[in-house]
Chains A and B, each alone.
Chain A
Amino acid sequence: MEMQMDPLFLAWSYFRRRKFQPCSEICGQILETNPYDQAAWSLKTQVLTEMVYVDEVDVDQEGIAEMMLDDNAIAQVARPGTSMKLPGTSQGGGPSPAIRPMTQAGRPLSGFVRPSTQSGRPGTMEQAIRTPRTAHTARPVTSASGRFVRLGTASILTSPDGPFINLSRLNFTKYAQKPNLAKALFEYIFHHENDVKNALELAALATEHAQFKDWWWKVQLGKCYYRLGLYREAEKQFKSALKQQDMVDTFLYLAKVYIPLDQPITALTLLKQGLDHFPREVTLLTGIARIHEEMNNISSATEYYKEVLKQDNTHVEAIACIGSNHFYSDQPEIALRFYRRLLQMGVYNCELFNNLALCCFYAQQYDMTLSSFQRALSLATNDEEVADVWYNLGHVAVGIGDLNLAYQCLKLCLANNNNHAEAYNNLAVLEMRKGHTEQLHRCSKSEGCVPRSRGHVSPDQAAEATLRHPVNKTTEASAQPERTASILSVLSLSDTLGPPSYKPDILETPPPHTQSMIPLPLPTFRQEIDTTEF
């Protein structure tokens, strides 16, 4: 007869090796023979939690309702540099907004995307509603209809004999008195079931049982309050937990509370306090850098990301953000080195190869450009990524002067993602150069009806496509008075495009914006920086 390993020990072994499925099955078998086996029960709750666990620091899924009907922010019209809602008000320097693509909220596109930065914070209700709810830019109506609830319902549907624990039948008071079981159970309810209300009840009972002396339960209470949108209560719990025990996580959670309250300065001070307790802690430094970046203070953000890299030279977020910052401040060669470093570290995906290709092209290493783009296309996992790669290929085609190729690239981009506003804009520019005013009209019109899903188009970028001729010469404009009006208003707003006027002081100012038909890659970049400044 073969020797059998003790099933519970085997399950533990699977759990340690992160083989969750077999571990969960063995626990299920043990529980079938003995439903009161607490060790197996607790292990199974931990396994199920680990399967769906995501770091709570990173999680943030605000719904439209929370965002627009927001009564947490203290000042609706904040002073410059104290709010994250007014991205244009920083004095941080960094590349001009005409160079760096924007998110929908008007912030420069970061080099790294996290759940909370995924879709940006729309400025108006209209903008929020117009954002289409695709799988990629989905913003739920409220956080109660967000991604976690969808995942939760899926997990219920997929387990044939109902959920593992029937929460409505649990006697929380009983479990709250058993600290060892209660912590695992809490994490299961919070992460796996996403039932914040029940989790809160359990945590409240447990912290009472611990006579308010256990900082862990206070942090958990704070997490629950945060999820429920009760930020002030969450703040209280986290602060109380910090009094008992200094933890990096608690500092991060507390800083996170101040983000929806729109108090970035408080969050920064707090994170710096955290740095006093935990000097050079990478997560705290990253937190500071993220806040600076969200406040559009790119140069400070880069400083902190560099500090992060001094501690941890394989930090993907820091490398990617510094790389993209170098690229948009006209140093593609340095950006290339950062992205190459990522490649050496084993990052192997569509985004990285696309960035490498762009850096290669603008650093004039033409041999690698097309092969990198090819690899990016072959690694793309969805249509939006394919579209973005074709969009960038369109730039390469314009750079080498092959306008037909550029045209085809942009068309392919639009075939893959019909909402790619920038591609519409560039197509319109190409049509303009060919002198096809009619098609141009169609392009700009279709751009007008694009719901700006990806939304990296700022108002003046969009205006560029609608602008056809110098206003006073436009023949079509006279037929469409409201269009002329909009063009005129655009002209007065945009800094890049001054109204057509005679400039007697031309000798003092740099030469006017003269764009060649086929620009060489780097010079045009520099040129555009110059022209945006005056």
Chain B
Amino acid sequence: MPEVKSMFREVLPKQGQMSVEDVPAMVMCKPKLLPLKSVTLEKLEKMQREAQETIRQQEAAQREQQQQQKQ
């Protein structure tokens, strides 16, 4: 944008000290690529899920039985 350049001219002093304050700025954590899972890990997680699921079903069945016995 040439017209903007003409509006703001940079000033560089030819003599004397120049100082710039280094202000610490907040930085965001970087974007995160998610690691892909290995086959072993996926199988382990699947087995764990299935085991939990079957146990849950068994417990539910047990509870039902107990309720029926009470009635």
Give the distance in Å from the alpha carbon of A354 to the alpha carbon of B58 in the complex.
37
Give the distance in Å from the alpha carbon of A333 to the alpha carbon of B18 in the complex.
40
Q: Is A55 an interface residue (CB 8 A)?
A: yes
Q: A59-B40, A118-B41, A503-B19 are known contacts. Are A429 and B32 too (CB-CB below 8 A)? A: no
Q: Is A496 an interface residue (CB 8 A)?
A: yes
Query: Within the complex, what minimum Cβ distance (angstroms) separates B56 from chain A?
Result: 11
On whether the beta carbons of A101 and B29 are closer than 8 Å, the reply is: yes
Q: Is B2 an interface residue (CB 8 A)?
A: no
Q: A154-B52, A429-B28 are known contacts. Are A58 and B35 too (CB-CB below 8 A)? A: no
Give the distance in Å from the alpha carbon of A44 to the alpha carbon of B30 in the complex.
51
Return chain B residues, CB-CB under 8 Å to A398.
28
B36-52: which residues lie under 8 A (CB-CB) from chain A? 36-38, 40-41, 43-44, 47-48, 51-52
Give the distance in Å from the alpha carbon of A49 to the alpha carbon of B26 in the complex.
54
Query: How many B residues face the partner with a CB closer than 8 A?
Result: 33
On whether the beta carbons of A513 and B25 are closer than 8 Å, the reply is: yes
On whether the beta carbons of A395 and B33 are closer than 8 Å, the reply is: no
Return chain B residues, CB-CB under 8 Å to A118.
41
On whether the beta carbons of B32 and A456 are closer than 8 Å, the reply is: yes
Query: Within the complex, what minimum Cβ distance (angstroms) separates B55 from chain A?
Result: 6
Q: Out of A111, A391, A422, A498, which one reaches B35, CB within 8 Å?
A: A111
Interface centre among A491, A506, A511 (most CB of B within 10 A): A506
| Interface of A: prevailing SS | helix
Q: Out of B19, B32, B37, B48, which one reaches A151, CB within 8 Å?
A: B48
Q: A150-B48, A151-B47, A502-B19 are known contacts. Are A158 and B28 too (CB-CB below 8 A)? A: no
Q: A112-B35, A456-B32, A500-B23 are known contacts. Are A157 and B41 too (CB-CB below 8 A)? A: no
Query: Within the complex, what minimum Cβ distance (angstroms) separates A294 from chain B?
Result: 14
On whether the beta carbons of A151 and B51 are closer than 8 Å, the reply is: yes
Return chain A residues, CB-CB under 8 Å to B44.
54, 115, 147
Query: Within the complex, what minimum Cβ distance (angstroms) separates B18 from chain A?
Result: 7
On whether the beta carbons of B38 and A115 are closer than 8 Å, the reply is: yes
Query: How many A residues face the partner with a CB closer than 8 A?
Result: 80
Return chain A residues, CB-CB under 8 Å to B26.
428-429, 432-433, 464-465, 467
Give the distance in Å from the alpha carbon of A114 to the alpha carbon of B19 in the complex.
51
Give the distance in Å from the alpha carbon of A432 to the alpha carbon of B28 in the complex.
11
On whether the beta carbons of A158 and B33 are closer than 8 Å, the reply is: no
Query: Within the complex, what minimum Cβ distance (angstroms) separates B5 from chain A?
Result: 18
Give the distance in Å from the alpha carbon of A504 to the alpha carbon of B19 in the complex.
6
Give the distance in Å from the alpha carbon of A113 to the alpha carbon of B19 in the complex.
48
B13-32: which residues lie under 8 A (CB-CB) from chain A? 17-32
Q: Out of B17, B30, B36, B54, which one reaches A158, CB within 8 Å?
A: B54
Give the distance in Å from the alpha carbon of A501 to the alpha carbon of B51 in the complex.
60
Q: Is B4 an interface residue (CB 8 A)?
A: no
Give the distance in Å from the alpha carbon of A351 to the alpha carbon of B35 in the complex.
7
Q: Out of A98, A115, A317, A498, which one reaches B22, CB within 8 Å?
A: A498
Q: Out of A100, A113, A504, which one reaches B36, CB within 8 Å?
A: A113
Return chain A residues, CB-CB under 8 Å to B19.
502-504, 506
On whether the beta carbons of B32 and A422 are closer than 8 Å, the reply is: yes
Query: Within the complex, what minimum Cβ distance (angstroms) separates B47 from chain A?
Result: 6
On whether the beta carbons of B22 and A500 are closer than 8 Å, the reply is: yes
Give the distance in Å from the alpha carbon of A350 to the alpha carbon of B37 in the complex.
11
Q: Mark A382-402, 1 if CB is under 8 A from B, else 0.
A: 000100100110010010000
Q: Out of A113, A154, A391, A504, which one reaches B54, CB within 8 Å?
A: A154
Q: Out of B18, B24, B51, which one reaches A500, CB within 8 Å?
A: B24
Q: Is B11 an interface residue (CB 8 A)?
A: no
Q: Out of B20, B32, B37, which one reaches A113, CB within 8 Å?
A: B37
Give the distance in Å from the alpha carbon of A100 to the alpha carbon of B35 in the complex.
13
Q: Is A435 an interface residue (CB 8 A)?
A: no
On whether the beta carbons of B36 and A327 are closer than 8 Å, the reply is: no
Considering the complex, give the chain B residue whose CB is closest to the CB of A515.
Answer: B25
Return chain B residues, CB-CB under 8 Å to A59.
40
Give the distance in Å from the alpha carbon of A433 to the alpha carbon of B30 in the complex.
17
Return chain B residues, CB-CB under 8 Å to A391.
32
Q: A395-B28, A395-B31, A429-B28 are known contacts. Are A113 and B38 too (CB-CB below 8 A)? A: yes
Give the distance in Å from the alpha carbon of A26 to the alpha carbon of B33 in the complex.
46
Considering the complex, give the chain B residue whose CB is closest to the CB of A496.
Answer: B27
> Which positions in A face B, CB cutoff 8 Å?
52, 54-55, 58-59, 98-101, 109-115, 118, 135, 147, 150-151, 154-155, 157-158, 316-317, 320, 323-324, 327-328, 342, 347, 349-352, 354-355, 358, 362, 385, 388, 391-392, 395, 398, 422, 425-426, 428-429, 432-433, 456-457, 461, 464-465, 467, 470, 491, 496-504, 506-507, 511-515, 528
The 10 listed contacts between A and B (C-beta, < 8 Å) are A54-B40, A111-B36, A113-B37, A114-B40, A154-B51, A158-B54, A316-B36, A429-B26, A497-B25, A515-B25
> Which 3 pairs across A and B sit closest by C-beta, in order of nearness?
A154-B51, A422-B29, A351-B34
